[in-house]
Structure 1
Amino acid sequence: MTAVIQEARVVAKKADRVWVQACIEQGCSSCHLSSSCGQGLLARWFSRPPPLLQLDAPNLVLEVGDRVELGVDASILNRAAWLQFALPLMTLLLASIFAEFLGVTSVFMQLVVAILGLAVGLLGARKFAGQATKPELLRKVTT
């Protein structure tokens, strides 16, 4: 298995469950050029706090504040990326083709049908994304 690994910090613990949040010290915020970089500027403007993930940790002794490594199978991540980008695009195109097939000649109505197709694709991608597997706790990071 090829895994994509991300560090996270334990923010809460209850029995064999932990809540982790991805470390934001990686990426643009850690780069020394982030103050003058366009990507860093966009990251500061549009950044949201990372979501909390609830995970099972029966084999690890963890405390709040510990750093852990999370792993996601790369093939699952690639499939999710394709789903998030390709499904809305395909439903938009199929809705447009369907409107053309039905003989819709108004540009406004074609646009409405295309936007409805896009909305259906986005909702479908969201539904399927909710069924994706959660990352696994790989190990505790020692510093």
Structure 2
Amino acid sequence: MIEERGRVVAIESDAVWVETVQRSGCHGCAAKSGCGTGLLGDFWSKASQVRVPASQSQVDDVTLHDTVVIGIHENTLAVSALVVYLLPLLALVGGAMVGESLVFNRWPSGEPGAILGAVSGFVLGGLAVRWYGLRNRNNPAMVPQFLRIERQTPCATTLAEQVVTIVSPK
């Protein structure tokens, strides 16, 4: 299970809204303090909010601004990533191959047909990804799970807190 820490920003009767921060890939690097890329990655990181279903006992235990851990299964993430990234790419290449091989009025279409086919394939691939998302919108396997509450270490998710953490001397 892939875990992510976040801060509770709203509580409903059967779910909590969790704000997580999307950070750069080099966030865990040891040279982060002396690296401009890591500094810019922290500056441009953005928060996103996700609704996480929770049991009644979990909802009763959590309060606003608590740090919680949510998770999603690796298989769910892998399949979704393949659909989102690979399907439009394969549709683009397939559309280009079909468009290039078409013959209009006894003339081969060549490069213009390949371009038109690639654009058409990419659009169809994007529509297929959209259909996949709508089809699995209510699938419980695609929804993050509420794992636990972490009361020891607060989760700094706002940009102002991150800037203070970056700028303040140690």
Flag whether TM exceeds 0.5 (same fold).
Answer: yes
Identity of aligned residues (%): 25
Q: How does 1:10-89 map to 2 (within 5 A)?
A: 10-23=8-21, 28=26, 33=32, 36-38=35-37, 41=40, 44-45=43-44, 47-50=45-48, 52-58=49-55, 59-60=57-58, 61-89=61-89
CA RMSD of aligned residues (A): 2.7
How far did residue 112 of structure 1 move?
A: 2.2
Q: 1:39 to 1:142 in 2, by over 3 A?
A: closer
Query: In structure 2, what is the Cα distance between the partners aligned to 1:137 and 1:44?
Result: 28
Query: In 2, are the aligned partners of 1:17 and 1:57 still within 8 Å (CA)?
Result: yes
Which ranges of structure 2 fall in alignment gaps of 5 or more residues?
Answer: 153-170
Which ranges of structure 1 fall in alignment gaps of 5 or more residues?
Answer: none
Structure 1 residue runs of 4+, over 6 Å off? none
TM-score by length of 1: 0.79
The answer as to 2:149 corresponding to 1:140 is yes
Query: In structure 2, what is the Cα distance between the partners aligned to 1:94 and 1:24?
Result: 33
Q: 1:121 to 1:25 in 2, by over 3 A?
A: closer
Query: In 2, are the aligned partners of 1:7 and 1:68 still within 8 Å (CA)?
Result: yes
TM-score by length of 2: 0.68
